[in-house]
Amino acid sequence: MPGWRGSPAGTTSRSRWRGCTGWRYVAEELAAAGVAAHVAEPAGTASARGRRRHARTGKTGSRHLRRLLAGGRLPECWIPPGHILEGRARLETHHDLRAGRTAWVQRIHAVFFPQGAAAPGDGALRTGRDLETLRAAAAAHLSPAGQLQVATAWDMPAGLQARLDVRRHRCCPPPGA
């Protein structure tokens, strides 16, 4: 698509498609080619079609979108500006890192429980002192395999937490920074 050229000089081009995975890439490429992008809202498009009597195909769906756009009745999705899309992407990355860290902490708790040891508290795996407490509890209560599991699992949230700290300052800078 990057090599695609827009319409001939002196004409205007518009493109329409139903909102789906990859819409951001398509919208950006069309805008770069000078084509007005229209992302159709799927539910609104379906209700504008009315009751289906036949199976919908790509050809009939495309015809339907073309007619709605030509008639000015295409129910459109809002295409956010680039800075909002970038902010969303940063927040998604932060969320994914946070979920990954939580999953590793839950794995640590899951190692303690079957071996009869008391699992560390919910907020007990955040500092260096917590790591020492965790190691002591693992040495006192867990088998060698359990200790290895906890040591391995601890490395993962620590690395994710370091990345989270960097991303947090990029995503949400502290006041006055």
Q: Which residue has the higher pLDDT, 64 or 10?
A: 64
Q: Which residue has the higher pLDDT, 4 or 102?
A: 102
Query: pLDDT by residue (tens digit) across 52-90?
Result: 655 566 777 778 878 887 888 888 878 888 888 888 888
Who contacts 169 (Cβ-Cβ below 8 Å, separation ≥6)? 177
What is the pLDDT at residue 154? Answer: 81
Distances (CA, A) of 22 to 25, 27, 28, 29, 39: 6, 9, 10, 11, 11
User: How large is the average pLDDT for residues 141-156?
Assistant: 86
Beta bridge partners of 38: 16
Task: Tell me the C-alpha distance between 153 and 149, whole Å.
Answer: 6
What is the pLDDT at residue 10? Answer: 47
Q: Which of 9-23, 34-48, 91-105 has the highest average model confidence (pLDDT)?
A: 91-105
